[in-house]
Structure 1
Amino acid sequence: YDTTAEEILEQCDGKVDMLVAGAGTGGTITGIARKLKEKCPNIKIVCVDPEGSILAEPEELNKTDKTMYEVEGIGYDFIPTVLDRSVIDTWYKSNDEESFNMSRMLIRDEGLLCGGSSGTAMAAAVNVAKELKEGQRCVVILPDSIRNYMSKFLNDKWMVEKGFLREEDLMVKKPWWWNLRLHGLNLSAPLTVLPTVSCQKTIKILKEKGFDQAPVVDEAGLILGMVTLGNMLASILAGKIKVSDPVSKVLYKQFKQIRLID
């Protein structure tokens, strides 16, 4: 009410026509909706509730054969006391498939590292915003990040197992090189440095070539490890090494190896 809602009003110059958000305990949408309705009386508040949850009104909207849902952070099997359903103008019932596929699209196309409930809100917004006229504003609350869901909807195998993606859809979206062997990529020889080369010279080379990292090899060409531009600069600034020190002092010795036949 005092923070997020005020920020929305400030960023939108006091003009908001629609707000779309999910509800867990209901505190966020209740507080924001109350403030926005005070400042923008004609605003439409849309609350998104997953199928299997019972928060939506009227009760008929909650009738479903589903008893559980995968999206987290929204929906409940009871009505939280914090949730003021009187400030909600419209309820939208969502499903896991549209939620997770929208989250993946936001990550892939927009660079927004959001979680499942963010995808739920955006999927609903794409549908309900069709009611708006040209020039009207719709604000969508994206409340979660991808941090806690790396092994779930970000994982193609998990999405297929849950029935949210088809195997054939995945293959269509893969880059052209996905099924090629390494030897078929016609890769050029990488830039390498010897362990005795100074950090100063290596930094200069990396900047000139536009690289962030380089393998460190011995005289026989055996890979000893990796050096990165960021680590060298950070170590110099922290006083851990001098610019004249060899790169062997800032070597990452743990790395994965793959063969050309892989």
Structure 2
Amino acid sequence: MGFKYLSDHQLALFQQQGFLVLRNVLNKEEVNTIKDEFEKEWLASITDGTVKQREKERLSSLYPNKFHVHKKSSVINKMMTSGRIIKIVEDILGEEALIVSSTAFYKTPGTGAMQPHQDEYGFGAGKSSCAIWVGLEEINEENGGLYFIPESHTLELVNVPTDLIERDSLPDNFKIVDIDIAAGDAIIIHPFVIHGSKKNSSLYKFRHVLFGFYAGASVQEIFENNEELMDKNGQYVKKAKNLKHMKKRIRIDHQPFWGV
């Protein structure tokens, strides 16, 4: 695979804690380019009438998350399939990466928290997968930053309680860590690590993030978007539907909450 973007120390740190914070992955121009694409997507949805304001969510309803943006924007597609982002992901996976999904997060002031979860629960791609979360402005606890439970990726899939971060303590000496990042920084996320995001409690700050989920080309089955993975050349790749994952999710849902 040629030159590695990540050092051996960074790769070891990711394997140890289940996530990795990388500074200055994108420069200011690249960040602004992605934000411009977010704005275009939003304006298009306003123009075609797909965005409807809701009485109880007057601001957040005007800025819904936009899914599969790598299919809609050639600019974002290029960002996600060439250059530093894809190189980082392939260093983590140790093989060619396929895009499974992408999301433009706007997270307006007042938007609620994302409950603690493991990405594997939704995607069902196994350990040869990961997410990348690219900040497009300064992001911290005030405007909805991410938090992690380091080393929780060693737990496999568990039934994560929605009030996990409100508990006085976690089992087995686990702890919660809040992550602050600047525009252009990125966080790489192991599919099994427990994480979530805080409420955007700021008065005026949005929290723009480009999210991408990738699977290794060697993955044989995947639960989410199994027929619409995309390679670096923009070609769609089909994988078998991971039907066993649905059964696993049902079983997890009926297990006692982790940490209770």
**Structure whose alpha-carbon radius of gyration is higher:** 1
The structure carrying a bigger strand percent of its residues is 2
Higher-RCO chain (CA-CA 8 Å, sequence separation at least 6):
2
Q: Please state which band the TM-score falls in when normalised by the shorter chain.
A: under 0.3
TM-score (norm 2): 0.20
